[in-house]
Homo-oligomer: A and B are copies of this chain.
Amino acid sequence: MNISDTFIPTLREVPADAVIISHRLMFRAAMIRKLSNGLFAYLPLGLRSLRKLERIVREEMDAIGSLEIKPTVIVPGELWKESGRWDAYGDALMRIKNRLGADFVVSPTAEEAFTALVRDELSSYRQLPLSLYQINTKYRDEIRPRYGVMRGREFIMKDAYSFHTDDASLDETYQKMGKAYRRIFKRCSLTVIPVQADSGAMGGSGSEEIMVESEIGDNTLLLCKTGDYAANVEKAACKPDYAPVAQGEAALAAAAKTPPMEKIDTPNVKTIEELCAFLKSDAKVFIKTLIYRARNAEIDIPGDKTFFACAIRGDLDINETKLTALLKAAEVELAGEADVERITRAPVGFAGPVGLEGIPLIVDHSVTAINDGICGGLAKDLHLKHVAWGRDFNAALAADIRTVKAGDACPSCGAELYEKKGNELGHIFKLGDKYTAAMDVTYLDENGKTCVPIMGCYGLGLDRTLASIIEEHHDDDGIIWPMSVAPYHVIIIPIKYEGAVKQTTDTLVSALEKAGIEVLLDNRDERPGVKFKDADLIGIPLRIVIGEKNLAGDEPKVELKQRREKENRLVKVSQAANEISSIVITELADLNEG
């Protein structure tokens, strides 16, 4: 392709809102242009890379037997009402009404559409497992789209959905997907971090996010220095720094030497920090109690299902995602002041587990190791000391609801965990029967019994994957494309496209194209410096410069430079096509292997 025949309006400057490097480079390299906040058009160069990524994703999905289909982008709202997500999804769901008043959504994800399609076709267990995917336009009505295509409103997602008779079958597909994702990112030369992720009310280990490290990442990851553990903070566990959970007799025995509980007058002392200072104690001896309000909690414990008291050791924080999953709730939030005062019969700041009535108490495991603690006294300016778990109070449930932090111990090996910020590129998830049950999908098993299939879902964002490749592969001059997703394999720059230079150029281009190598020919009448700058900016992996000087003499040569290297070298014209093809083929093979 001649540069003059395509459309690559490169730029020196970019708009002020392009703050991250991939956004800046995609603009400058004329890969994308902005139509509106969060809406980007791919220009020819960007689309070539996007299509290559799409092909990689498609090949890997096909290789694990997932079948491509194409539902619509606009999906009937009825299906979302059936699943319950019409109400539950939140404002990022683009709900629209057509001229007849019917409801539709612009799909942000497609559990409903796939489930509805399968529902109509499924009759027998013999049809399962079934794994389907699409690579299609998605839309999220982001309130603050940012960072270019990294967090746009409209984007391309590969989303797969699988249907199964049992957990073993679901797990098999889930594992295959995980491997396919690793291959996809490997083929893009992208360093990813697979992490355990929140799996909502489902529980279990059936949720993995594939993250890429990023300063602007909106996820916090906890990673073990030894590499044997990685989890999203929403899910991360740690090895406890206290004795194991004590219940009943064991709890009483642990509290055997604790003096009887005593009231302490604590005028105007409300926060843990204030208490520590006031009592000259370490936060670890405090029992911090918070009142939460949950939406649609389905946890099976007696009592109120709207308000929950949650207690944790004073130096730790409650993880609301873990709590939401534990309660099987749609959402949790801290209760308002009025509710707290009503429930604790005291101003905010004096909640405590001892004598709290009317709502269930849930404690983090850390609380079960406290046998001589301090807590709020359920009255203004009152705290209690010498409080012992199992002696002075009990809970409806003890569970892990702790936010793990850098410095906590790896749950696997005990080594120190550290934190990174990450962006999610993919997510594989065991859904269970959430959608199939809600949408009434059934099949007959071997015995003719009506059963509900279980599902997995597997998403992968193509635009942000592309942007992440640039984040990882660039230098000050521009993008450094891995061969597999480069818009072209080779850029050829004739110093002056005429005479012998033109002849050599044309012969080389033609030989390379015959060999299946994608060539971009900079046939513009521009200064070499301009051409070199553009070549570096758009990041084509191989650059060939053809000039009169190197063509003169007995052994005419051209200059070959790999984008990722500083140095160039001379290659004989007679060997150039072979040499270039060989580099391209080798790099593609290296990326594709394994």
Which of B72, B91, B143 contacts A40, CB < 8 Å? B72
Across the interface, which residues of B come within 8 angstroms of A259, CB to CB?
A: none
Instruction: State which of B40, B76, B120, B121 has its C-beta within 8 Å of the C-beta of A36.
Output: B76
- Report Cα–Cα, A43/B6, bound state, in Å: 35
Cβ contact within 8 Å between A6 and B74: no
- Contact of A86 with B by CB under 8 A: no
A334 on the B face (CB < 8 A): no
A18 at the interface (CB under 8 A from B): no
A280 within 8 A of B: no
Asked if A132 and B39 make an inter-chain contact with CB atoms under 8 angstroms apart, the answer reads: no
Choice from B50, B68, B98, B153 contacting A70 with Cβ under 8 Å: B50
The listed residue (B96, B120, B137) touching A33 by CB distance below 8 A is: B120
Q: Count of A residues near B, CB < 8 Å?
A: 50
Q: Indicate if A277 sits at the interface (CB-CB under 8 A).
A: no
- Asked if A397 CB lies within 8 Å of chain B CBs, one says no
Most chain B CB within 10 A, of A41, A76, A116, A153, is at A41
**A42 proximal to B (CB < 8 A):** yes
Q: Tell me which residues across on chain B come within 8 A of A65, comparing CB atoms.
A: 5
Check A556 for interface membership: any CB of B closer than 8 A.
no
Q: Bound complex: CA of A68 vs CA of B51, how far in Å? A: 11
Min CB distance, A458 to chain B, in Å?
Answer: 17
Give the chain B neighbours of A40 by CB distance below 8 A.
72
A141 at the interface (CB under 8 A from B): yes
Q: Which residues of B contact A154 (CB under 8 A)?
A: 72-74
Quick check: is A411 within 8 A (CB to CB) of the other chain?
no
Q: Does A359 contact B (CB under 8 A)?
A: no
**Distance from A587 Cβ to chain B, minimum over Cβ atoms (Å):** 25
Of the candidates A5, A36, A73, the one having the most CB atoms from chain B within 10 angstroms of its own CB is A36
Fill in one digit per residue for A513-547: 1 if any B CB lies within 8 Å of its CB, else 0. Answer: 00000000000000000000000000000000000
| 25 interchain pairs, CB-CB under 8 A | A7-B69, A35-B76, A36-B78, A39-B74, A39-B75, A40-B72, A41-B72, A41-B113, A42-B70, A43-B117, A44-B67, A44-B68, A47-B68, A47-B70, A50-B70, A72-B137, A73-B137, A73-B154, A74-B139, A91-B99, A92-B99, A96-B96, A98-B141, A100-B143, A136-B137
Q: Shortest 7 CB-CB distances between A and B: which pairs?
A: A41-B71, A36-B76, A42-B70, A72-B154, A39-B72, A9-B121, A96-B96
